């Protein structure tokens, strides 16, 4: 990022401050309000007020939260079991439909997990009450607004006092936190405040058709009543693009903003990329970066899956293993998000990968086709090795024949 970007934003803010301090000058505005009008807030140094609603009003914040939450929500989620035959779905497990069909009454699994993940991305924590049958089996997950939860200790037990729900023990709460359990909106409020101020400034600038602010000055001292009358008369005379008449004895000086400062594209691009960095989303996935190709888009998608989606799914899997599975089930059962589609890679890499495994006899042609959602072919279920693609069960006879022939 060029230093000029920071200077441009700072210049806009300081420009009016320097003007206002000039001795003997009376000021009236024409065109759009100054950048200084966005510096009156107290919540951030930029002056913009940042809370959940205003942060989500930033398109890149909303896009990042939506991208991560919807990506996880669309993944297949299953209870798995491992035994001597390998790993397979635990058909009929009491928690299977709970996590994959309708976790809460009125919520599909997609809607539930999308909301749950959105909560942790926005607030830093996500909560769901685990409702259980008398035998301890879970039968419903109830989403809870993170702002309604108070954590406290009661008789050395960690409990959660939830508004309108009551008190629940830690074992009966599904909980997911980000690093330190703090809201990224709160942690990065200064940067988000700057993005909000830039967005508001751009909206007002273009809303005024790009008209510049100007200064009315008089060499004669004026009373407050006179200043107010002149300001009202000036601001209400003509439209933003029309002609205005100067009061007698006044001069008008236009405050010029050079095109580089007036154009906010560079500044906003940088701030949008910073937001993407906070959430771990490649800029191209939320429309921030335009100079991308098909190849690097696929690579960015894989990186997004490995370094953003996988850590979130691991947190969720481990939490569900602890809270939704009985202690005696945990050695043989576990929850798993199916990440295979996200981690498949580009077509060339997948072809090379399958080719290597097939030639090594690790998988069959039909297993590779199944991984690509293709139908089986006759004879494709046989495992082969690269020696003339001979079947493994015939390899020993082939080797003996080769040896006897003296080859």
- pLDDT for 333-362, tens place per residue? 999 999 887 877 667 777 888 888 888 888
Residue 39: what are its φ and ψ, rounded to 5°?
Answer: -105, 15
Residue 157: what are its φ and ψ, rounded to 5°?
Answer: -110, 135
**CB half-sphere exposure, 300, CA atoms < 13 A:** 15
**Is residue 3 within a helix (H) or strand (E), and if so which, with residue range?**
helix 3-20
Q: Report the share of the chain in percent with pLDDT over 90.
A: 39
Q: Which residues of 33-46 are buried (b: 16+ CB within 10 A; e: fewer)?
A: bbbbebbeeeebeb
pLDDT of residue 46: 79
Average pLDDT over residues 118-128: 96
d(C-alpha 102, C-alpha 198), whole Å = 42
The model carries a pTM of: 0.70
E strands, 329-407, where? Answer: 333-337
Q: Mean pLDDT score of the chain, rounded to an integer?
A: 79
pLDDT of residue 227: 78
d(C-alpha 162, C-alpha 207), whole Å = 45
Q: Cβ distance 201 to 12 under 8 Å?
A: yes
- pLDDT for 162-216, tens place per residue? 999 999 999 999 999 988 888 999 889 899 988 888 888 777 666 655 555 677 7
More confident residue, 406 or 145: 145
Residue 198: what are its φ and ψ, rounded to 5°?
Answer: -65, -40
d(C-alpha 44, C-alpha 55), whole Å = 12
**Of the listed ranges 87-96, 149-158, 235-244, the one predicted with least confidence:** 235-244
Q: Cβ distance 319 to 176 under 8 Å?
A: yes
**Is residue 125 within a helix (H) or strand (E), and if so which, with residue range?**
strand 125-132
Would you state the structure tokens that stand for residue 269, as one six-digit string?
């691009």
- Give whole-number Cα distances, 177 to 38, 98, 113, 147, 281, in Å: 33, 21, 14, 14, 18
d(C-alpha 2, C-alpha 210), whole Å = 24
d(C-alpha 228, C-alpha 334), whole Å = 72
Q: Cβ distance 131 to 140 under 8 Å?
A: yes
d(C-alpha 118, C-alpha 111), whole Å = 10
pLDDT of residue 1: 45
Please say if the pLDDT value at position 376 is more than 90. Answer: no
pLDDT of residue 200: 80
* Burial of residue 241 (number of CB atoms within 10 Å: 0-12, 13-18, 19+): exposed
**Is residue 167 within a helix (H) or strand (E), and if so which, with residue range?**
strand 166-169
Domain edges within the chain: 347-404
pLDDT band with cut points at 50, 70 and 90 for residue 331: very high
Identify the three-state secondary structure at position 175: strand
d(C-alpha 206, C-alpha 326), whole Å = 60
Please say if the pLDDT value at position 105 is more than 90. Answer: yes
**Is residue 195 within a helix (H) or strand (E), and if so which, with residue range?**
helix 189-207
pLDDT of residue 13: 39
pLDDT band with cut points at 50, 70 and 90 for residue 148: very high
Q: Cβ distance 342 to 328 under 8 Å?
A: no
């Amino acid at each position: 990022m060029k230093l000029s970007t920071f200077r441009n934003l700072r210049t806009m803010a300081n420009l009016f401050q320097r003007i206002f301090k000039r001795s003997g000058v009376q000021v009236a505005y024409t065109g759009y309000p100054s950048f200084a009008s966005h510096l009156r807030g107290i919540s951030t140094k930029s002056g913009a007020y940042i809370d959940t609603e205003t942060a989500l009003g930033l398109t890149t914040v909303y896009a990042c939260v939506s991208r991560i939450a919807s990506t996880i929500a669309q993944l297949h989620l299953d209870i798995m079991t491992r035994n001597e035959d390998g790993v397979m779905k635990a058909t009929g497990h009491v928690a299977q439909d709970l996590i994959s069909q309708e976790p809460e009454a009125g919520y599909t699994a997609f809607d539930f997990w999308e909301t749950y993940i959105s909560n942790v991305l926005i607030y830093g924590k996500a909560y769901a009450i685990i409702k259980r049958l008398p035998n301890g089996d879970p039968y419903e997950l109830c989403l809870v607004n993170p702002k309604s939860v108070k954590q406290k200790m009661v008789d050395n037990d960690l409990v959660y006092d939830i508004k309108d729900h009551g008190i629940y023990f830690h074992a009966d709460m599904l909980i997911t936190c980000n690093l330190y359990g703090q809201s990224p909106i709160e942690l990065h409020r200064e940067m988000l405040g700057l993005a909000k101020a830039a967005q508001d400034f751009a909206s007002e600038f273009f809303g005024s058709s790009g008209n510049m602010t100007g200064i009315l000055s008089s060499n004669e001292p004026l009373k407050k009543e006179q200043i107010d009358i002149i300001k009202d008369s000036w601001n209400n005379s003509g439209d933003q693009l029309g002609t205005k008449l100067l009061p007698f004895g006044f001069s008008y000086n236009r405050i010029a903003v050079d095109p580089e400062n007036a154009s906010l594209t560079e500044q906003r691009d940088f701030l949008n990329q910073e937001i993407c960095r906070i959430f771990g989303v490649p800029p191209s996935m939320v429309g921030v970066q335009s100079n991308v190709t098909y190849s690097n888009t696929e690579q960015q998608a894989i990186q997004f899956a490995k370094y953003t989606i996988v850590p979130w799914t691991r947190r969720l899997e481990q939490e569900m293993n602890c809270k939704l599975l009985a202690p005696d089930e945990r050695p043989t059962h576990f929850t798993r998000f199916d990440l295979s589609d996200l981690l498949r890679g580009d077509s060339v890499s997948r072809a090379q990968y399958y080719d290597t495994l097939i030639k090594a006899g690790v998988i069959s042609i039909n297993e590779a086709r199944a991984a690509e959602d293709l139908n089986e072919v006759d004879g494709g279920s046989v495992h082969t090795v690269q020696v003339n693609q001979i079947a493994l069960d015939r390899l020993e006879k082939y080797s003996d024949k080769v040896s006897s022939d003296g080859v």
